[in-house]
Chains A and B, each alone.
Chain A
Amino acid sequence: MSASPKPDLITVNVDGRDVAVPKGTNVIEAARLVGVDVPYYCYHPKLSISGNCRMCLVEIGMPAVDPATKAPIVDPGTGKQRINWIPRPQIGCATTASPGLHVRTNTAQIKECREGVMEFLLVNHPLDCPICDQAGECKLQEQATGYGRGYSRYIEAKNVKPKRTQLGPRVMLDDERCILCSRCIRFCKEVAKDDVLGFIDRGSYSTLTCYPGRQLTNNYSLNTVDICPVGALTSTDFRFKMRVWFLKQTDSIDPESSVGANTVVWSREGVVYRITPRRNDEVNDTWMADSGRELYKQNRAPDRLMVARVEGQDSTPAAALAAAADLLKPAAGAVAVVGSGRSSIEEQFVTRRMANALGAGAFLVGRSDPGDGLLISADRNPNVRGALVTGLVTNLPSERLTQLGEWIDEGKVRCVVSVGEDLLAAGLTEAQLARVAVVYLGTHANATSAIARIVVPTFTVLERTGSFVNQQFRLQKFFQAVPGPAGAIDDLTALTRLLSSVEGEYFPPEPAAIWPEMARAIDVLQGITFAGIPATGRLLDGSRWAGLPFPEGPGLHFQPAAKP
């Protein structure tokens, strides 16, 4: 046994290779570190260990010592310390690494164990992968190929169970496919705190059930679909719509609150089919809210703005932006810019510059609603902290644009640029808006877009590339998954064009091209490049804003700063 390189690390040996792992690591994770795959179904790194699938069986042993003297016993044949192997296999998920632990995953016994476990799991599992919705992302399918015997000896009749049980509004259960791993049950109990699922009956009659009279309705129910290793739990929204191997995966961020849950957007030929969580141990683990998964529907919503308008006439985005510039330049000094907490930090930076160039006051519209203590926070804007960092605003936004209303009443403002914000919903009156020219850049129709002098349709978060700063002051990137509609224009392109026409200098509409300037101008962003932001985000120094009364309460991996 080699000495531990660090006090909190211990050395274990997996298939003949030493690896240093943190204390408390289990054998599955230790093996992963040396690139050894230990197959499993019921184990999940973010849930409690139940150890019921038996797929992760490994052989373990400890170095032999003389019981009396504690001196190592050396094998004369090899000259190395002998290993006392436990004759029976142990489950890797529930075996915590201890110093000197030896693990074997490649012996004949383990091969036989895995074949045996696979055979039992497949006894009552339908072998109809070609018509199963999970095919292509099914652990059972993958591991039957990797570790199964390759043919079935089973000639008896299989169990018949309900095929289409609606567990809740978003989750469908096919009981025949369930392999009773209990991940969904543990998720509901431990993470969602909505303990409604359980197994009733026993043996091969065991059936996953929701307590009669109750439903799996919590806003995290679709995570059970993600963690289901087989095709038992499927999303009613996604099932049988598209084969997963046709879908392109793009990293994105859930924009529904300042939590900034990491997501993957699954799309094909410009159409988004689903959104699933992406693991980030510092933010959302492997979970996300159901509400955030439905946001892709906004891309093709009937109220989507598809064509630019100038003075009520259909136009092109380029012409509309030119018209907007013609409107804004002469009005400089009497312009107000209503930025957005839903814009990326790059867009907010350009918005700030534009406001400066026009001598305009900049506003932001706050959005708050009680958080759920998990992955939806009280601040329903994804990027208010980005607006603070870029200096777009210096204080937390209010939900109502009272000050802007006063300025309009006093005649200080003749022209208002709104980046996706409904000014009427934010407290301005129709009479006030009638006194100013409104330039509206946004994705969907609302009362403000209806009366705006110039409307420029823009892209949703799934159609843009940029970054948000979440409640932890973590800078996180999102990427364009699908192209935007033909009649619309990327927000950043629209804003840089407006800025160009005001300042008379060309600004490239690329986050990567804006970052060098942003990093120069803003000290907390110093040294950061867009490409250099890791996939799991980068923490910024938010201490300057620590005194602000942020609305967020405690959530997963988030503890609000103590109020001064």
Chain B
Amino acid sequence: MKLKPETLQRIDEIIPHYPVKRSAVLMLLHAIQEDVGFISTEAIEWVATKLELQPINVLEVVTFYPMFRQKPIGRRHIKVCRTLSCALRGGYQTCETLEKEFGVHRGEVSADGEVTIEFVECLASCGTAPVVMVDDDLHENVDCARARALAAQIKQEAARRG
């Protein structure tokens, strides 16, 4: 695991903000996931050493929160909301459409390594259901047609990147 110098710098800034080192676990994991994309076993042990904990203490936190990933994901992270409002407005169909477009099952990485689709709990935009997040951007009222357009756009961007 190789962290960027700015991540290392941020981590060293984070730790003294807490009364005990242990409290910084969550923030360190966020910083590492942002940098590397996922939390590896090596990262867990690195955090444990850094905060003077045992690796099991960090593993407990990593597995408790669904937003921490223990495996790498695709370049683009597509999150489709599965909670009540979106489900009532066709969130399931949206998710299935995206799966078909990219030829990948939810939770998996597409063959070209481009996308990972996740069917997640509430994205907090019930008024504009169904909603989809691509990385940090929220897309509202994503019915099947818009889902196809969204997929086309992502593919186009991938092609442009080469």
Are B64 and A201 closer than 8 Å at their CB atoms?
Answer: yes
Are A211 and B64 closer than 8 Å at their CB atoms?
Answer: no
Residue picked from B41, B56, B57, B59, most chain A C-beta under 10 Å: B56
Q: Does B55 contact A (CB under 8 A)?
A: yes
Nearest-neighbor residue (CB-CB) of A210 within chain B: B56
User: Which residues in chain A, 197-248, are within 8 Å of chain B measured between CB atoms?
Assistant: 197-202, 209-212, 214
Are B64 and A198 closer than 8 Å at their CB atoms?
Answer: no
Which one of B41, B54, B60 contacts A200 once the chains associate, using CB atoms below 8 Å? B60
Residues of A within 8 A of B49 (CB): none
Residues of A within 8 A of B55 (CB): 211, 214
The answer to whether residues A195 and B64 also contact, given A200-B59, A212-B41 and a CB cut-off of 8 A, is no
Residues of B within 8 A of A209 (CB): 56, 59
Give complex CA distance A198, B55 in Å: 10
Residues of B within 8 A of A201 (CB): 63-64
Are A197 and B64 closer than 8 Å at their CB atoms?
Answer: no
Residues of A within 8 A of B63 (CB): 200-202
Q: Does A132 contact B (CB under 8 A)?
A: no
Give the number of residue pairs across the A-B interface with Cβ within 8 Å.
Answer: 30
Give complex CA distance A198, B60 in Å: 6
Count class of interface residues, chain B: under 10
Give complex CA distance A199, B61 in Å: 9
Give complex CA distance A381, B33 in Å: 55
Which one of B41, B54, B60 contacts A199 once the chains associate, using CB atoms below 8 Å? B60
Nearest-neighbor residue (CB-CB) of B64 within chain A: A202
Count how many chain A residues have C-beta atoms less than 8 Å from C-beta atoms of the other chain.
13
Q: Does A196 contact B (CB under 8 A)?
A: yes
> Least Cβ distance of B36 to chain A in Å?
19
Give complex CA distance A214, B54 in Å: 11
User: Which residues in chain A, 48-94, are within 8 Å of chain B measured between CB atoms?
Assistant: none
Give complex CA distance A196, B59 in Å: 11
Give complex CA distance A195, B41 in Å: 17
Residues of B within 8 A of A199 (CB): 60
> Least Cβ distance of A173 to chain B in Å?
14
Nearest-neighbor residue (CB-CB) of B60 within chain A: A198
10 closest A-B pairs by CB: A200-B63, A198-B56, A195-B54, A211-B56, A198-B60, A202-B64, A201-B63, A211-B55, A196-B56, A199-B60
Name A's B-contacting residues (CB within 8 A): 195-202, 209-212, 214
Name B's A-contacting residues (CB within 8 A): 41, 54-57, 59-60, 63-64
26 A-B pairs in the complex with CB atoms less than 8 angstroms apart: A195-B54, A195-B56, A195-B57, A196-B54, A196-B56, A197-B56, A198-B59, A198-B60, A199-B60, A200-B60, A200-B63, A200-B64, A201-B63, A201-B64, A202-B63, A202-B64, A209-B56, A209-B59, A211-B54, A211-B55, A211-B56, A211-B59, A212-B41, A212-B59, A214-B55, A214-B56
